[in-house]
């Protein structure tokens, strides 16, 4: 038993784990994370329909391919401006049309 513990300690990371903070973040932000994931899934479906790559979408939205990748992971807190750019680039409705009097 002692040798097993020593082996485990030898392979233990020197940096503390952040799993608890990540789990708490996911729990506290569950609602908007679900929305972000829904947006990502709709984007992926539409990109597949249009045969678009992340790079092409990034060009249409005037942003980097890396940012598109972050959005498609479903963990990005999207601004209204970004949602608007996604809608325009993919000809997709994500947010309801505003009603003006």
Q: Which two tokens stand for residue 44?
A: 């992926």
* Contact partners, residue 4, CB within 8 Å, separation at least 6: none
CATH number of domain containing 40: 1.10.260.40
Please state which of the ranges 1-5, 32-36, 37-41, 89-93 shows the lowest mean pLDDT.
1-5
Domain assignment present for 96:
no
**Is 70 among the domain residues?**
yes
Mean pLDDT of the 76-96 span: 93
- Would the pTM count as exceeding 0.85? no
Does 11 fall in a domain?
no
Is residue 41 assigned to a domain?
A: yes
Q: Are 33 and 48 in contact (CB under 8 A)?
A: no
Counted domains in the chain: 1
**Torsion angle in degrees (nearest 10) through CA of 10, 16, 17, 22:** 180
- What region does 62 belong to: left with phi over 0, alpha with psi -120 to 50, or beta? left
Position 64 scores a pLDDT of: 97
Q: Which domain holds residue 66?
A: 22-90
Indicate whether 101 pLDDT > 60. no
């Amino acid at each position: 038993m002692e040798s097993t513990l020593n082996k485990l300690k030898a392979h233990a990371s020197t940096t503390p784990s952040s799993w608890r903070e990540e789990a708490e973040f996911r729990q506290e932000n569950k609602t908007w994370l679900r929305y972000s994931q829904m947006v990502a899934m709709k984007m992926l479906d539409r990109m597949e329909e249009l045969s678009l790559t992340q790079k092409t979408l990034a060009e249409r939205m005037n942003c980097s391919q890396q940012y598109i990748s972050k959005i498609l992971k479903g963990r990005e807190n999207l601004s209204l401006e970004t949602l608007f750019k996604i809608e325009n680039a993919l000809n997709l409705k994500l947010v309801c049309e505003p009603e003006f009097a």
